[in-house]
Amino acid sequence: MESCNCIEPQWPADELLMKYQYISDFFIALAYFSIPLELIYFVKKSAVFPYRWVLVQFGAFIVLCGATHLINLWTFTMHSRTVAVVMTTAKVLTAVVSCATALMLVHIIPDLLSVKTRELFLKNKAAELDREMGLIRTQEETGRHVRMLTHEIRSTLDRHTILKTTLVELGRTLGLEECALWMPTRTGLELQLSYTLRQQNPVGYTVPIHLPVINQVFSSSRAVKISPNCPVARLRPLSGKYVPGEVVAVRVPLLHLSNFQINDWPELSTKRYALMVLMLPSDSARQWHGHQLELVEVVADQVAVALSHAAILEESMRARDLLMDQNVALDLARREAETAIRARNDFLAVMNHEMRTPMHAIIALSSLLQETELTPEQRLMVETILKSSNLLATLINDVLDVSRLEDGSLQLDLGIFNLCAVFREVLNLIKPIASVKKLHVSLNLAPDLPEYAIGDEKRLMQTILNVVGNAVKFTKEGSISITAFVAKSESLRDSRAPEFFPVPSDNHFYLRVQVKDSGSGISTQDIPKLFTKFAQTQSTATRNSGGSGLGLAICKRFVNLMEGHIWIESEGLGKGCTAIFTVKLGIPERLNESKLPLMPKVSSNHGQTSFSGLKVLVMDENGVSRMVTKGLLVHLGFEVTMVSSSDECLHVVSHEHKVVLMDVCVPGMDGYEIAVQIHEKFTKSHERPLIVALTGNTDKVTKENCMRVGMDGVILKPVSLDKMRSVLSDLLEHRFFRGHIEMKNIGD
Amino acid sequence: MDIVSQLQRQFIDYSASLHHEGFVDDQFTQLQKLQDENSPDFVVEVASLFFEDCEKLINNMARALEQQQGVDFKQVDASVHQLKGSSSSIGAVRVKNVCISFRSFCEAQNREGCLRCLQQVTHEYSLLKNKLQTLFRLEQQLLAAGGSIK
C-alpha cells in the first residue's frame, strides 16, 4: 500500500533503495537520451546505412523510454497530479512506439542478416580470386623467366657461353643448388660431365649412356623427376643433413654434327642427346611444380636450337677462313703466274729482235762471203756456218712462233692464193734435198681441187713444208708421195679423230693432204708424243737429224687454227708412215674470172688501173688533210666529193659513191658511228660503198674498232700515192670477195 | 737555156735542202708529185690553206693558254690535234714533232710546258712559211722563165 504522496517521508534506511532507484533511473534516462544522439551522429557520418527511418523510429522509442524514466524521478517523492498525467502520457507513447518498433524489426532483421551472408560470400570470392591471381602471376613470372633465359641463351653464338649462361640463369630463376650438363662423348657410349653451375672445373666424370634412368629421360621430351641417388645426380657430397633436394632431368637434342666419326656403332640412333640435371636445394622441402618443369623443358629446347646455330656458325666460320686462305694462295699463285708470263713476254719481245738481228747479219754476210773467191776448205767452212745459222734461225723462229701460238695472239692472215702454186713451191723446195738422198717425190693433185682458195698461204705452206720435210728427213730410201684432194663428208670422219666433225658449206671446203713415205716409220706408242713440244723419239735414226721437235707441234697449232685436224699413221718401225691433215679453206666467189689477179700478193703494181669517173666521198674535218687526200684521189682519176662533218657525210652518201674515205682519229667525231649508219643505210651489200678509214693510229684498238663497225680497209696516214693506188685497186677488185676477206690490213 | 737550167738547179737544190734540214719529208714530195696539168697550183693551194689553218689554230691556243683562271686544256688539245693532222698531211715534219710533245704537255695539264711548246710551234711555223714561200717564188721564176719543175 502506498503511502500518501503528499506526505514527504523521512529518508529512512529502506529509502536507500529508493535513492538507488532514483540514481539508476537518472542514469538510464541519460543513457537513453545519449544513445540516439550517438546513433544520429554516427549515421550522419556514415553514408551507407540504408534504414534511416528505422533509426528515427528507434530513436523515438529510446527517447520516450528515457523520458519515461526521467519523469519517474519525480514520482519518488510527492508529486502532483500533472506529473502523473505527464508520466502516463509518456508511458502510453513509449508503449505505442516500442510496439511499432518491435513489429518493424521483424521485417528488418532478416534483411540485415542476409546482408551479412552476402558479405561472407563476397569475402570468400575475394579469397578465391586472390589465389587465382597468385597463380597467374606465378605463370607470368615463369613466362618472363623463360623469355629472359631464351634471350640470354640466344644472345650469343658461342657454344660455351650459351651453355654456361643457361645453367647460371636457370640456377638463378629456380633457385637451384646445382645444375649440370652431361654431353655425350665422341664414341657415344658415355656421358661426360661438361658444365656445372657451382663447381668451377668439373673433373671428367663419365657415366655410361645406357643406364635405365638415362634411357627413361631420353625417351621422353618432358622433364622427368629422378632419384637424387642416381649417378648423374650425385655430383657433390651431401651438404645437407637430412634430405637431398628433388632432382629433375631433361634431354637436350643435339645437332648431328658431321665431324663426329662414329662409323662402327650400328645401334646408335641418329638423334643424340645431352642430359641436363637440376637439383633443388637440399633441406628446403621445396618441390618441383608443374610450371617449373615446363620452364625447364622450354629452356632445354631453346638451348638445343641455340647450340645448333652455334655449331652451324662455327662450321661456316671455319669454311670461310679456309676459303680466305685459299683465296690468298690463289691470288699469290695468279700473281706469280702473271709475273712469269710478263717476264716471258718481255724476254720474247727482246729476244725476238735481239736474236734475229745478229742472225740475219750472220746469214746475210755468210751468203755474201760464199759468193766471193774461196779456197775449198774455206768454202766448206762457210757452208757449214751458213747451214748452222740457217738452222739456228729456223729454231729461233719456231720457238717464237710457238710462244705466239700459245698466247693465242697468232691470227691467220687470210687472203686469196693459188693452191696449186703452193704445192708446186713446196715440191721445188724439197726436190734438191730429195734428189741428194735419191728419193722419188710425186705430187698428186685431185682434179676437183679449186685453183684458188682463201686462207693463210704462208702458214699453209709452212705446214705442208714441215710435213713433207719430215717425210724426207726420216726416209733413207724409197719414195715420198704427196696427195691433195677435197675431202667429202664420209671421208672426213676418221676413226682416229672421232671428235672432229667437219661441216662443209657453200663457202668452204676441206683440203685433205696425205704425205706417204717409205721411211723408218714410227712405233705405235710414240705416235701420241709426236705432236708434243720438244718431245722426240729416241731412235738413233732421228738423233742425227737435228731439229727442235717443235715442227709438228707448230703444224698442229696451225692446222687447228685453220679448223682442221692432223695425225700420223704408221704400221710400225721400218714400215714407213703417212701424215694426213685436213684444213678448212674458203672458196672465192667468182663473178668475173677475168678480174682475178694471178699473183695478188706478189706486187702491188697493177699498172694504171682505171679509176676514171669512179665517185668517192672524202670525209675529214681537217682542211689540209682533206685537200691532200682530194689531191691524191683526183690525181688517180677519181671524182671526189668532200664533206667535213658526219652529218654532211650521211646526207651526201649515195650508192653512186664507190668508196667513202673517212678520218677516224678526230676526237669528238665518231667515224665508227658513221660506218655503222652507212651499213644500215645500204642494206644490199653491192650497193654499199666501200668504207676505208684513214688514221694516224696503228694500235690494235683502232683496228679492232674498224673491224667491229664493218670497215673494209684501214690506211695509215700520211698516205703516199702508191699506197692509195694499191689499196683502192685491191679493194675495188676484190669487192666481190668481201664476204671472205674481212679486213685487209694495209699500210701497216 | 742557161737561165732555165740554172733556175732549175736552184729549185732542186733548195727543195733538197728543205728535205735535208728536216723541214719537210716524203709527204711533201708526194704532194709535189700530185701537181700536174689538171691542178697546176696544187701545192701552193695546200700550203696556203695550211698557213691559214696554222695561224688560226695558234691564235686559238694562245688565247686559251692566256686564261689566268682555269686553262681549258681540252680545247688546246683539240687544236694541237688539228695542227698535228694538218702538218702531217703536208709533210711539215718539224711542226708535227713539236705537236707531239705539245700533246703530252696538254695531257699532263702543264701550262708552262704548253706555253713553251706554243712558242716553239710558232717559231717552226714561221720558219717553214718563209722557206716554202721562197720555194714557191723560185718555182714561179722557173715557170716564168719557161722551165718546168718535173
Contact A624 B46 (CB under 8 A): yes
Residues on chain B touching A667 (C-beta within 8 angstroms): 77-78, 81
| Residue for grid cell 716471258 | A344
B49 touches chain A (CB under 8 A): yes
Classify residue A747 as left (phi > 0), alpha (psi -120 to 50) or beta. left
Contact B85 A624 (CB under 8 A): yes
**B22 in a structural domain:** yes
pLDDT at A738 (0 to 100): 47
Contacts of A386 (CB under 8 A, 6+ apart): A363, A366, A367, A370
Contact B86 A624 (CB under 8 A): yes
pLDDT at B31 (0 to 100): 83
Residues on chain B touching A723 (C-beta within 8 angstroms): none
Contact A721 B33 (CB under 8 A): yes
Query: What secondary structure, in 3-state letters, does A109-131 show?
Result: HHHHHHHHHHHHHHHHHHHHHHH
Helix (H, G, I), strand (E, B) or coil at A30: helix
**B140 in a structural domain:** yes
Residues within 8 A of B (CB atoms), A 618-647 only: 621-625, 627-629, 631-632, 634-635
pLDDT at A149 (0 to 100): 78
- Contact indicator for B76, B95 with CB cutoff of 8 Å: no
A266 touches chain B (CB under 8 A): no
Torsion angle defined by CA atoms of residues A337, A340, A341 and A342, in that order, rounded to the nearest 10 degrees: 120
**B73 in a structural domain:** yes
Contact B89 A621 (CB under 8 A): no
Contact B30 A668 (CB under 8 A): no
CA angle (A209 as vertex; A228, A256 as ends), nearest 5: 120
C-alpha B41/C-alpha B47 separation (Å) is 10
Residues within 8 A of B (CB atoms), A 648-707 only: 663, 665-668, 696
| Residue for grid cell 500518501 | A4
Residues within 8 A of A (CB atoms), B 74-113 only: 77-78, 81-82, 84-91
C-alpha cell at B89: 698531211
A716 touches chain B (CB under 8 A): no
**B83 in a structural domain:** yes
Binding residues of A for Cu cation: 65, 69
C-alpha B131/C-alpha B95 separation (Å) is 13
**B11 in a structural domain:** yes
pLDDT at A498 (0 to 100): 47
Q: Which domain holds residue B102?
A: 3-145
pLDDT at A590 (0 to 100): 58
Contact B89 A632 (CB under 8 A): no
Residue-wise DSSP of A469-511: HHHHHT-SSEEEEEEEEEPPHHHH--TT-TT------SSEEEE
> What distance lies between CA A729 and its chain's CA centroid?
57
Average pLDDT, chain B: 86
A503-524 confidence digits (pLDDT tens):
556 778 888 999 998 887 777 7
Residues on chain B touching A725 (C-beta within 8 angstroms): none
CATH number of the domain that residue B42 is part of: 1.20.120.160
C-alpha A725/C-alpha A727 separation (Å) is 6
Sign of the torsion angle spanned by Cα atoms B77, B83, B86, B87: negative
B56 touches chain A (CB under 8 A): no
- From A628, A635, A633, A748, select the one nearest A700 (Cα to Cα): A748
Residues on chain B touching A668 (C-beta within 8 angstroms): 78
Query: Which residue of B lies nearest to A637 if distances are taken between CA atoms?
Result: B38
- Contact indicator for A619, A660 with CB cutoff of 8 Å: yes
Q: How much is the ipTM here? A: 0.80
Nearest to A721 among B30, B81, B87 (CB): B30
**B96 in a structural domain:** yes
Q: Which segments of chain A have a pLDDT < 70?
A: 1-13, 47-50, 200-204, 235-242, 255-270, 402-410, 489-505, 533-550, 590-610, 665-670, 684-686, 697-700, 718, 734-748
pLDDT at A40 (0 to 100): 77
pLDDT at A13 (0 to 100): 66
Beta bridge partners of A565: A582
Contacts of B106 (CB under 8 A, 6+ apart): B73, B76, B77, B80, B114
**For chain B, what is the radius of gyration of the CA atoms?**
18
C-alpha A475/C-alpha A437 separation (Å) is 9
pLDDT at A491 (0 to 100): 53
C-alpha A565/C-alpha A557 separation (Å) is 9
Contact A666 B85 (CB under 8 A): yes
Contact A625 B85 (CB under 8 A): yes
pLDDT at A78 (0 to 100): 74
B42 touches chain A (CB under 8 A): yes
How many domains is chain B built from?
1
Query: Which residue of A lies nearest to B78 if distances are taken between CA atoms?
Result: A667
Residues on chain B touching A721 (C-beta within 8 angstroms): 30, 33-34
- Contact indicator for B31, B43 with CB cutoff of 8 Å: yes
Residue-wise DSSP of B97-140: HHHHHHHHHHHHT-HHHHHHHHHHHHHHHHHHHHHHHHHHHHHH
Nearest to B89 among A628, A635, A720 (CB): A628
pLDDT at A741 (0 to 100): 39
**B150 in a structural domain:** no
A619, A628, A717, best to mutate vs chain B, most B CBs in 10 Å: A628
